[in-house]
């Protein structure tokens, strides 16, 4: 299998001197063609920073990125625009990604400008079809759509460009649990039907477990573990992954709670 | 024995500017015994937060309570006449921890100033030292660092901020705490820490009951004694946590459970259709009480 995208020794440092914060530290990974890779980690672990670097939205401090065999480290100008035709993203909050005064039609037609006129309309219908929506949605305003619908329009927008790589940064976190599964299924369908490569970023291990072919675990900017769902989630080797999995509330197993543990600790100290 | 909470026949309606009525809570009755955690579950728009705000006496227009009564320890109040409910009920009998509370703390105020403000709102004569001593004792009891009081909100992590606002909302030892989505914005380790703290507060009788509003069923499985599932303003099923999770009878409860994803082997490598696989009509089935 070919790696569509690789990152080697990726590092991002914010600030300089004594205020420097290394948000991502020497991280290497590869995204295989037609697979869904998820990055999991707590808040502040650097997972969104990785997404922004992969997208070319944030200059990287050191390391190397390749896409389809070409070097895409810090692309600029025309190279970056060409890169964005192949790599598209969906973000956490679909409401803030819309202009409130534009209908869905205006929003989608704007993205169509990047395409040749002759294919535009077909692509639009096809993309809405992939996310299970029809053309009636075009005349709606964002506030007339539910959260799930808004997020599906955002996915359709990204799909119109037929990207080879789709990045979803916490794309389902603001949605109701009952809508979440639908969006995740849209992503697995895209993988199975269009052989799309997906990088899915989440703090929710349950979603990672449902969706992923490959899981990467981040802790404080360092990638502590990577591998398949079976290896990483059901047989974690690193202590951090173990704790992360153990702390997730489960439906059919009790998780261990330590109520009033600090009292025992205080007594021990005394 | 009287129940801790007896809320009966609550109907809450939102009036839109054009005069239309949108029913938020439709003739709901719930009971709670001393020491219980009642989980209110349901999808967005099911009325769970609306019910929470009515029971916590924080309902405001456009939400109007048309009828309903609230009894805590057998003392009854008429909810349709909010103005006649004594001031002391808000905060000292029922207390609300609203959704996103940790983000509504003023960024230019130290936590100790917030504590003083809250205490002064209930007791105009209280001294600043007294208020702070009380908060400090509480933090010590629950094993949190007292330096949190001197911090500005941005100096605390999300999990710590949420635990601190939870403590502030219970400083007056309310009988009942209503927590609206308290864990939804937290990562799993902070979620667990908050749950442990809430259960410890119950154990130490800081409050005697918690209504935990969330759409996250695995969290309720961990924290709740009983669960009430809401759909379109009505409670469709209620009962002990294990019964609801393992033996749900109402079609809506089953549908809700079917869209839950947790890292358990049974959810990997299969396709879940979630709500879509269910017929919305079937959700109108009558209420099930266990």
| Residue B92 DSSP symbol | I
Contacts of A215 (CB under 8 A, 6+ apart): A37, A38, A40, A208, A225, A226, A227, A228, A229, A232, A233
Query: Phi-psi bin for A257: left (phi > 0), alpha (psi -120 to 50), beta?
Result: beta
Taking an 8 Å cut-off on Cβ atoms, the answer to whether B271 and A180 are in contact is: no
Q: Do residues B267 and A210 make contact, with C-beta atoms less than 8 angstroms apart?
A: yes
Give the pLDDT confidence of A72-123 residue by residue, as tens digits: 998 888 888 889 889 999 988 777 778 888 999 888 888 887 777 677 788 8
Joined together, the tokens standing for residue A197 give 């490569």
Average pLDDT, chain A: 87
Q: Per residue of chain B (290 residues), what is the pLDDT tens digit?
A: 689 999 999 999 999 888 889 999 999 999 999 999 999 999 888 999 999 999 999 998 889 999 999 999 999 999 999 889 998 899 899 999 988 888 888 999 999 999 999 999 888 899 999 999 999 999 999 999 999 999 999 998 888 999 999 999 999 999 999 999 998 878 888 899 999 999 999 999 999 999 999 988 999 999 999 999 999 999 999 999 999 999 999 999 999 998 888 888 877 777 888 777 788 888 888 899 98
Name the residue with higher pLDDT: A1 or B92. B92
pLDDT of res. B100: 82
- Give the SS3 label for residue B94: strand
For residue B84, give how far its alpha carbon lies from the nearest alpha carbon of chain A (Å).
37
For residue B268, give how far its alpha carbon lies from the nearest alpha carbon of chain A (Å).
5
Return phi, psi of residue B139, to 5°: -65, -40
Taking an 8 Å cut-off on Cβ atoms, the answer to whether A254 and B218 are in contact is: no
Taking an 8 Å cut-off on Cβ atoms, the answer to whether A181 and B273 are in contact is: yes
Q: Do residues B60 and B9 make contact, with C-beta atoms less than 8 angstroms apart?
A: no
Q: Is the pLDDT of residue A177 over 80?
A: no
Taking an 8 Å cut-off on Cβ atoms, the answer to whether B260 and A205 are in contact is: no
Taking an 8 Å cut-off on Cβ atoms, the answer to whether B263 and A205 are in contact is: yes
Give the pLDDT confidence of A22-69 residue by residue, as tens digits: 999 999 999 999 999 999 988 888 888 999 999 999 999 999 999 999
Taking an 8 Å cut-off on Cβ atoms, the answer to whether A259 and B187 are in contact is: no
SS3 readout for chain A:
CCEEEEEEEEEEEECCHHHCEEEEEEEEEEEECCCEEEEECCCCCCHHHHHHHHCCCCCCCEEEEEECCEECCCCCHHHHHHHHHHEEEECCCCCCCCCCCCCHHHHHHHHHCCCCHHHHHHHHHHHHHHCCCCHHHHHCCHHHCCHHHHHHHHHHHHHCCCCCEEEEECCCCCCCHHHHHHHHHHHHHHHHHHCCEEEEEECCHHHHHHHCCEEEEEECCEEEEEECHHHHCCCCCCHHHHHHHHHCCCCCCCCCCCCCHHHHHHHHHC
- All structural domains of chain B, each given as residue ranges with its CATH number in brackets, are 5-103+172-289 (3.40.50.300)
CB < 8 Å to A227, chain B: none
Q: Is B275 exposed, middle or buried (0-12, 13-18, 19+ CB in 10 A)?
A: buried
Taking an 8 Å cut-off on Cβ atoms, the answer to whether A208 and B221 are in contact is: no
- Give the SS3 label for residue B135: helix
Q: Do residues A98 and A142 make contact, with C-beta atoms less than 8 angstroms apart?
A: yes
pLDDT of res. A262: 79
pLDDT of res. B1: 66
Q: Is the pLDDT of residue A1 over 60?
A: no
pTM: 0.86
- All structural domains of chain A, each given as residue ranges with its CATH number in brackets, are 3-235 (3.40.50.300)
pLDDT of res. A270: 66
Joined together, the tokens standing for residue A96 give 């803030």
Select the residue from A177, A204, A246 to test the B interface by mutation, using most B Cβ atoms within 10 A: A177
CB < 8 Å to B102, chain A: none
Q: Do residues A52 and A58 make contact, with C-beta atoms less than 8 angstroms apart?
A: yes
Size of interface A-B (CB pairs under 8 A): 138
Name the residue with higher pLDDT: A178 or B223. B223
Taking an 8 Å cut-off on Cβ atoms, the answer to whether B44 and A207 are in contact is: no
Contacts of B262 (CB under 8 A, 6+ apart): A206, A209, A248, A249, A250, A251, B218
Give the pLDDT confidence of B30-85 residue by residue, as tens digits: 999 999 999 999 988 899 999 999 999 999 888 999 999 999 999 999 999 988 99
Q: Which candidate, B53, B66, B57, places its Cα nearest to that of B27?
A: B66
Select the residue from A44, A46, A181, A204 to test the B interface by mutation, using most B Cβ atoms within 10 A: A181
Taking an 8 Å cut-off on Cβ atoms, the answer to whether A177 and B264 are in contact is: no
For residue B197, give how far its alpha carbon lies from the nearest alpha carbon of chain A (Å).
7
């Amino acid at each position: 299998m070919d790696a569509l995208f690789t990152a080697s020794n990726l590092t991002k440092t914010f600030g300089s001197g004594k205020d420097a914060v290394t948000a991502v530290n020497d991280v290497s990974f590869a995204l295989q063609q037609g697979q869904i890779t998820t990055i999991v980690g707590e808040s502040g672990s650097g997972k969104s920073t990785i997404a922004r670097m992969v997208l070319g939205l944030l200059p990287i401090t050191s390391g190397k990125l390749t896409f389809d065999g070409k070097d895409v480290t810090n692309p600029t100008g025309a190279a970056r625009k060409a890169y964005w035709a192949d790599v598209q993203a969906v973000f956490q909050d679909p409401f803030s990604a819309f202009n409130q005064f534009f209908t869905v039609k205006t929003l989608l037609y704007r993205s169509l400008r990047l395409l040749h006129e002759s294919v535009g309309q077909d692509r639009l219908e096809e993309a809405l079809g992939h996310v299970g929506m029809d053309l009636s949605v075009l005349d709606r305003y964002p506030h007339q759509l539910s959260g799930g619908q808004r997020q599906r329009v955002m996915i359709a927008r990204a799909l119109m460009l037929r990207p080879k790589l789709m990045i979803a940064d916490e794309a389902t976190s603001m949605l109701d649990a009952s809508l979440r599964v639908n969006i995740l299924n849209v992503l697995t369908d895209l993988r199975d039907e269009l052989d799309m490569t997906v990088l899915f970023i989440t703090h929710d291990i349950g979603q990672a477990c449902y969706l992923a072919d490959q899981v990467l675990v981040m802790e404080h900017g360092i990638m502590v573990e990577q591998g398949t769902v079976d290896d990483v989630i059901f047989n974690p080797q690193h202590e951090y992954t173990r704790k992360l999995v153990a702390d997730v509330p489960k439906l059919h197993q009790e998780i261990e709670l330590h109520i009033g543990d600090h009292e025992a600790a205080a007594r021990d100290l005394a | 024995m009287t129940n801790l909470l007896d809320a009966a026949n609550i109907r809450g309606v939102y009036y839109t500017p054009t005069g239309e009525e949108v029913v938020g809570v439709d003739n709901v009755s719930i009971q709670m015994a001393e020491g219980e955690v009642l989980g209110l579950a349901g999808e967005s728009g099911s009325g769970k937060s609306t019910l929470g705000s009515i029971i916590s006496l924080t309902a405001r227009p456009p939400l109007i309570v048309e009828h309903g009564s609230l009894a805590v320890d057998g003392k009854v109040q008429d909810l349709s006449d909010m103005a006649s409910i004594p001031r002391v009920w808000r905060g000292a009998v029922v207390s609300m921890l609203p959704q996103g509370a940790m983000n509504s703390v003023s960024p230019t105020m130290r936590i100790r100033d917030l504590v003083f403000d809250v205490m002064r709102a209930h007791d105009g004569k209280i001294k600043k030292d007294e208020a702070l001593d009380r908060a400090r004792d509480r933090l010590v009891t629950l094993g949190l660092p007292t330096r949190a009081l001197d911090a500005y909100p941005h100096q605390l992590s999300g999990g710590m901020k949420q635990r601190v606002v939870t403590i502030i909302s219970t400083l007056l030892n309310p009988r009942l705490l209503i927590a609206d989505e308290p864990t939804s914005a937290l990562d799993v380790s902070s979620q667990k820490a908050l749950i442990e703290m809430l259960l410890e507060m119950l154990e130490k009788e800081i409050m005697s009951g918690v209504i935990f509003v969330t759409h996250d069923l695995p969290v309720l499985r961990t924290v709740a004694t009983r669960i009430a599932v809401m759909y379109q303003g009505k409670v469709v099923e209620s009962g002990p946590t294990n019964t609801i999770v393992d033996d749900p009878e109402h079609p809506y409860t089953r549908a809700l459970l079917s869209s839950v994803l947790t890292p358990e082997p049974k959810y990997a490598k299969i396709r879940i259709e979630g709500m879509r696989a269910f017929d919305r009509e079937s959700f109108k089935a009558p209420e099930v009480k266990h």
